[in-house]
Amino acid sequence: MSGARVWLLCALGPLALLAAATTPPNILLVLADDLGFGDLGSYGHPASATPNLDKMAAGGLRFTDFYASCPLCSPSRAALLTGRYQTRSGIYPGVFYPGSRGGLPLSEVTIAEVLKARGYATAMVGKWHLGLGANGSFLPIHQGFDHFLGVPYSHDQGPCQNLTCFPPDTKCFGTCDQGVVPVPLLQNQSILQQPLAFPQLVPLYNKFSRDFIADCARQDRPFFLYYASHHTHYPQFGSQEYVGQSLRGPFGDALMEFDGSVGLLLQALQENGLEGNTLVFFTADNGPETMRMSRGGSSGLLKCGKGTTYEGGMREPAVAYWPGRISPGVTHEMASTLDVLPTLAALAKVPLPTVPLDGYDLSPLLFGGGKSPRQMMFYYPPSPSELLGVFAVRYGKHKAHFFTQGHLYGKYSEM
C-alpha cells in the first residue's frame, strides 16, 4: 500500500468514526403474544427449544424484572408504542374486537412516528390489535408505519374450527369467536387472505421482513421493524417445518416457529452487514393464558398469568441484543414496555412527544451498566375504573396489592 493511501485512510479514520457515531441505529422490536415468564429455555423451562432467543439472552442483556403495562393485549400494545399507560390513551376496558368502532387515537404519537422524523423507514408485521376503524382508519399505515403486513386484531377473533392450524390437515383446537367474519390478512389496507391460511402465515411474515431489511440496507437507510408475532396465543399454529418437533406439543411447535423467525431475522441482519448497527429488543405483551393448561404457556415460578395483576400476568421475558454495544449479562433492574419509546428516541437523537410520558430512557442501563431510572410500576387490571384505580403498585423491591381478584377470560369488555 502506498504511503499516500495510508495517510488518506488515517486522515479519514476520525471522520469515519464520527459518521458511525452519528448514524442512527436500526431498530428491530420483536413482540411475542401471551408468552410466559417461564416459557423460554433461557428463563428456565426444561423442555422449550428456543436456541435463537437463548442466543440473544446469552449475548445480550437479559431482564428479570421487565413489565408490560397491562395483562391484556390491546392496552399493553398501546403502551408499548406510545410510552404511556393505556389509561392515558383510552385503550380500555378490555380489547378491540372486529366490530369495535374505535382504535388507538390518531393523536397519540407512536414509536414509528417518532422515528420517521429522523428519516427511518418503518414497517410492521403481525398482530396489530389497536383498532381497525371505518375504512381502516386506525391501521398501522395511519400510525406512522410505511408498510403493514398482518392481522388487524387477534387471530382467534373469528371462526377457526374448520381451518387447518398445522399441516397437512390438523384443524385448529377449539372454535375461536363465532358470529363474526373470518379473520383477514392485510397488506396495508388490502385483503390478501380471508380466512387466514395459518401454515403459510409466518413464512409470509419472514419473507416480508427479510426483504424489508435488505431493501433498507441497499438504500443505506435506517429502519424500524416491529415484528409482532401471533405466537404463542391460542389457537396455536405452525408451518410444516415445525409440526411435531417440540416436547411441549402444539404450544411448543408454535414457540419453535417463533424462535425460528427470530433466527431468520438475526440472519438477515448479518447477511446485510447490519448486525453491528442494529438494536434488537424482544419481549411479550402479557403473561400466559394459564387456564388453557398445556396450550397456554408457563409463568415459571411467578403466580397466575394473563388477565391478572399478579406477577405472572405482567412480568415478561425481555432481552436487549446489540453485539459490540450491549455487554452480555443479566439485570435485576426494573424496566417496562413503557420505557421503549423514550429509549429509542434517545438512541435516534429525536425529541420526545410533547405529551406526558410514563417511560424512561434506559440507555444508562443498556450501555453503561448503570441503574434503571424506573423505581415504580402500576398494575392496572384489564378493565380499570376510577372507583378501584390501580390493583397493585411496585416500588423498588416491594409490592402492595390493593385488589387481588383475577379476571375471567371471555368476560373482558369490548371497546
Angle, CA 372 vertex, CA 53 and CA 143 arms, to 5° = 65
Alpha helices in 60-197 (DSSP H): 73-82, 86-89, 111-116
Largest Cα–Cα distance of the chain, in whole Å?
78
The backbone torsions φ and ψ at residue 101, rounded to the nearest 5 degrees and listed phi first, read -85, -30
The helix-helix angle for 73-82 and 340-348 (nearest 10°) equals 30
Q: Which of 70, 73, 172, 176 is catalytic?
A: 73
Closest listed residue to residue 33, CA positions, set 265, 410, 289:
289
C-alpha cell at 70: 397491562
Give residue 136's identity as a one-letter amino acid code: G
What's the rounded Cα separation, in Å, for the pair 14 and 70?
46
Q: Is 73 known to be catalytic?
A: yes
Say if CB 300 and CB 36 are below 8 A apart: yes
Query: Hunting for cell 448486525 — which residue is that?
Result: 275
What cell numbers appear for 104 in the block? 388507538
Contact residues for 410 (Cβ-Cβ < 8 A; gap 6+): none
Q: Of 129, 230, 231, 407, which is the active-site residue?
A: 129
- Quote the CA–CA distance of 84 and 341 in Å, as a whole number: 9
Residue 129 is among the residues annotated as catalytic for this protein: yes
Name the DSSP class of 337: G
Q: Which three cell numbers stand for residue 28?
A: 428491530
Residue with cell 390501580: 390
Which residue numbers are catalytic? 73, 129
